[in-house]
């Protein structure tokens, strides 16, 4: 847009200059003559050419740090340190073991859990069910044994596994009426 505007201004200036050169001039006109306008245009064109030359010289000069380097600047001294370790596999294992010994506690005592054996659960079920032919909830037999939360898991697991073993042997029947509902047990009637 700017280039087109420059061309338009230049064309208008040249048309004005040509009209001033071709038309005879009146004596008391007060405007510059055609020769004077031509001399002014020539001067402006010389200035423009000088500006373009100066700009191209500035742009083409070598730049510091790119094409030209300054003299006498101190060069940085780089110090590279490398550690040289000489150790055998035995030395590494010994160092690792000594570090592990520092972090490991010397005394360890695991928590003792009360665990019901399957035989204890089977004996308890056989004793509790007795000869009863009625359906009774398995949890009602375990109420006396579910004292602490730590014992509940082992009592239920052992009792359930023992009850499945008794069903397999044909001594009791198990049924469940609802999904995730209570289990009911009874002594199997003998035919």
Query: CATH number for the domain including 145?
Result: 1.10.10.580
Convert the pLDDT of each residue in 125-136 to its tens digit. Answer: 888 887 777 888
Q: How far apart are CA 138 and CA 141, in angstroms?
A: 5
Is residue 146 assigned to a domain? Answer: yes
Per-residue pLDDT of the chain (191 residues; tens, 9 = 90+): 878 898 888 888 788 888 877 877 766 667 777 788 888 888 988 998 999 999 999 888 887 777 777 777 677 888 888 888 788 889 989 999 998 888 877 777 778 777 878 888 888 888 888 777 788 888 887 777 776 777 778 888 888 888 899 889 888 888 888 888 888 888 887 65
Task: Give the global pTM.
Answer: 0.41
SS3 at position 139: helix
Is residue 2 assigned to a domain? Answer: no
CA 90 to each of CA 21, 65, 87, 93, 103: distance values in angstroms, whole numbers, following the listed order: 106, 55, 8, 5, 20
Is residue 48 assigned to a domain? Answer: no
Is residue 68 assigned to a domain? Answer: no
Q: How far apart are CA 133 and CA 188, in angstroms?
A: 7
Is residue 169 assigned to a domain? Answer: yes
**Angle at the Cα of 128 from the Cα atoms of 123 and 133, rounded to 5 degrees:** 120
Is residue 135 assigned to a domain? Answer: yes
Q: Which domain does 136 fall in, by range?
A: 118-187
Is residue 134 assigned to a domain? Answer: yes
Is residue 27 assigned to a domain? Answer: no
At 52 the pLDDT is 92
Number of domains in the chain: 1
Q: How far apart are CA 28 and CA 24, in angstroms?
A: 12
CA 173 to each of CA 37, 79, 165, 188: distance values in angstroms, whole numbers, following the listed order: 125, 85, 11, 6
Q: Which among 145, 149, 147, 148 is positioned nearest to 120, based on CA atoms?
A: 145
């Amino acid at each position: 847009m700017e280039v087109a505007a420059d061309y338009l201004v230049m064309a208008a200036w040249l048309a004005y200059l040509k009209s001033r050169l071709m038309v005879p001039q009146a004596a008391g006109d007060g405007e510059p003559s055609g020769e004077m306008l031509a001399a002014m245009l020539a001067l402006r064109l010389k200035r423009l050419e000088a500006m373009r030359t100066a700009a191209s010289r500035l742009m083409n000069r070598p730049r510091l740090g790119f094409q030209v380097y300054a003299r006498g600047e101190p060069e940085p001294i780089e110090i590279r340190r490398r550690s040289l370790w000489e150790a055998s596999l035995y030395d590494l294992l010994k160092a690792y073991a000594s570090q592990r010994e520092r972090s490991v506690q010397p005394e360890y005592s695991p928590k003792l859990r009360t665990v019901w054996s399957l035989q204890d659960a089977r004996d308890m079920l056989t004793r509790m069910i007795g000869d009863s032919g009625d359906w009774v909830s398995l949890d009602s037999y375990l109420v006396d044994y579910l004292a602490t939360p730590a014992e509940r898991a082992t009592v239920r697991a052992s009792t359930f596994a023992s009850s499945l073993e008794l069903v397999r042997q044909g001594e009791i029947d198990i049924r469940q009426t609802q999904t995730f509902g209570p289990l009911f047990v009874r002594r199997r009637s003998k035919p």
